[in-house]
């Protein structure tokens, strides 16, 4: 059985917690796209951890965690992340890194920062982790796969020479920055090879064998539908596909083996970075929800930046679930809304004098205004409730209204930050 756990919106929906909970019964947990440019926050008996590269099943000692071929791997970041967990005395499972994953180089991080600097007020709000330059090089065929870290010296130096010729032209003529040194880049690649050596494997073979044996495999996505390169709010998107369909490509498993797509949906909206956000709150209304939201407030797990927040957007979420092919939904952070007298839901958009309920492409989206409907709040703390029928009626009405709007069964309701704070319906 292969399940994909993916986000419906802009990311930050709580996928890490849902993956962590389901991973307790999993054999393999696989990151299939993205890199260290975002984070999944896990809270368990050992503390609170922000994972950036490591899959969220890492705390199940019996599970094998995999960074698939669709991931951009920063070797130094990965090693530091593992060390921080081990230094905290936390037991963990085995980790494998695909030999076909892309390597994030130091110059990728530099180019990320240089481009944001060049764009200035027109920047993308990048985390400056080097992900966009890394994936750009992948498709330009000048990136490095993990397996190439162990090439013979002569062919590897030829690859490095070609890359330096291209990059130095840009550094000299576009960014006016220091040039790359071929020997330094070669040595950097070799050092990454040493760092990753204990983890490298032909993971697609391992996962295909596991699927044939009936093992339970979780595919963990990063960010959400609206940040997908093709189907998101382009160009304010991430640099890889965030869709469950890419889970097969980014992990090397047959698409026909993905039997369940769990789409994670937040009970309100939040986003980090620039881009259209129709149901956004502003001012004090935004600040109060930001302060009360998530676990310790709505701030980026990677950057610490305040997240933009707003009302639940049924238009965007319905689209997000459709593009993911959701078979069920996990609704998260419902507990954060207990302070509201009335809770707005964005049920439609107004644009050019008409009302629409289908999520449009970016040029139209940027002109859209929200159409809100109000629902009664429940005005109490629902943390600790384990049975759905014990939730206040107003809370159940809110959950069921969302379910009706998005057209997908809500199978889980998360009402707190801990692993056990999930109501199964």
Q: Tell me the C-alpha distance between 285 and 188, whole Å.
A: 48
Three-class SS state of 178: coil
Q: How far apart are the first and last CA of the chain?
A: 21
Using CB atoms within 10 A of its CB, is residue 335 exposed (0-12), middle (13-18) or buried (19+)? buried
Q: Tell me the C-alpha distance between 34 and 28, whole Å.
A: 18
How many C-beta neighbours within 10 Å does residue 296 have? 11
Question: What's the length of the chain?
Answer: 425
Using CB atoms within 10 A of its CB, is residue 289 exposed (0-12), middle (13-18) or buried (19+)? buried
Q: Tell me the C-alpha distance between 339 and 318, whole Å.
A: 26
Task: State both tokens at 369.
Answer: 């205004």
Using CB atoms within 10 A of its CB, is residue 341 exposed (0-12), middle (13-18) or buried (19+)? exposed
Using CB atoms within 10 A of its CB, is residue 208 exposed (0-12), middle (13-18) or buried (19+)? middle
Q: Tell me the C-alpha distance between 387 and 385, whole Å.
A: 6
Task: State both tokens at 324.
Answer: 């993911």
Q: Are strands 94-98 and 200-201 parallel, antiparallel or unpaired?
A: parallel
Q: Among positive and negative, which fits the CA dihedral 44, 54, 59, 47?
A: negative
Examine the residue annotation and report whether 231 is marked as an active-site residue of this protein: no
Backbone phi and psi for residue 168, each to the nearest 5 degrees, phi listed first:
-70, -30
Residue 253 near residue 208, CB atoms below 8 Å: yes
Examine the residue annotation and report whether 12 is marked as an active-site residue of this protein: yes
Per the residue annotation, which of 12, 112, 313, 335 is the catalytic one?
A: 12
Task: State both tokens at 371.
Answer: 């159409």
Per the residue annotation, which of 20, 27, 40, 99 is the catalytic one?
A: 40
Of 412, 419, 425, 424, which Cα lies nearest the Cα of 23?
Answer: 419
Q: Give the helix/strand (H/E) hosting 376.
A: strand 369-376
Of 15, 7, 21, which Cα lies nearest the Cα of 60?
Answer: 21
Beta-bridge partner residues of 414: 422
What is the set of active-site residues?
Answer: 12, 40
């Amino acid at each position: 059985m292969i399940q994909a756990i993916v986000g419906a919106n802009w990311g930050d929906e709580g996928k890490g917690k849902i993956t962590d909970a389901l991973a307790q019964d999993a054999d393999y947990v696989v990151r299939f796209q993205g890199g260290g440019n975002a984070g999944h926050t896990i809270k368990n008996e050992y503390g609170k951890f922000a994972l950036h590269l490591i899959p969220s099943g890492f705390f199940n000692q019996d599970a094998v965690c995999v960074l698939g071929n669709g991931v951009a791997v920063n070797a130094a970041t990965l090693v530091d992340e593992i060390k921080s967990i081990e230094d905290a005395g936390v037991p963990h499972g085995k980790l494998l890194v695909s030999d076909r994953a892309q390597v994030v180089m130091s110059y990728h991080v530099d180019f990320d920062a240089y481009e944001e600097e060049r764009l200035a007020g027109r920047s993308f709000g990048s985390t400056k982790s080097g992900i966009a330059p890394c994936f750009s090089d992948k498709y330009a065929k000048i990136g490095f796969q993990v397996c190439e870290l162990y090439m013979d010296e002569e062919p590897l130096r030829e690859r490095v020479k070609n890359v330096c010729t291209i990059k130095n032209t840009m550094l000299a003529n576009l960014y006016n920055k220091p040039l790359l040194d071929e020997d330094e880049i070669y040595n950097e690649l070799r050092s990454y090879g040493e760092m990753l050596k204990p983890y490298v494997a032909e993971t697609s073979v391992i996962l295909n064998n596991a699927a044939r044996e009936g093992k339970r495999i979780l595919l963990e996505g990063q960010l959400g539908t609206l940040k997908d390169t093709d189907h998101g709010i382009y160009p304010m998107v991430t640099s890889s596909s965030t869709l469950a369909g890419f889970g097969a490509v980014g992990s090397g498993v047959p698409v026909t083996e993905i039997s369940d797509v769990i789409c994670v949906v937040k009970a309100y909206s939040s986003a980090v970075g620039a881009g259209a956000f129709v149901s956004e709150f502003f001012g004090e209304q935004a600040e109060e929800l930001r302060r009360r939201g998530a676990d310790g407030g709505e701030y980026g797990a990677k950057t610490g930046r305040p997240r933009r927040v707003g009302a639940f957007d049924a238009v965007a979420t319905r689209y997000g679930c459709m593009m993911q092919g959701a078979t069920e939904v996990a609704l998260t952070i419902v507990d954060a809304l207990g302070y509201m007298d009335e809770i707005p839901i964005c049920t439609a958009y107004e644009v050019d004098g008409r009302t629409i309920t289908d999520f449009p492409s970016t040029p139209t989206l940027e002109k859209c205004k929200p159409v809100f409907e109000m629902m009664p709040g429940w005005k109490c703390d629902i943390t600790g409730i384990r049975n759905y029928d014990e939730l206040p009626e107003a809370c159940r009405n809110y959950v069921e209204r969302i379910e009706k709007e998005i057209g997908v069964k809500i199978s889980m309701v998360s009402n707190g930050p801990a692993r056990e704070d999930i109501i199964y319906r």
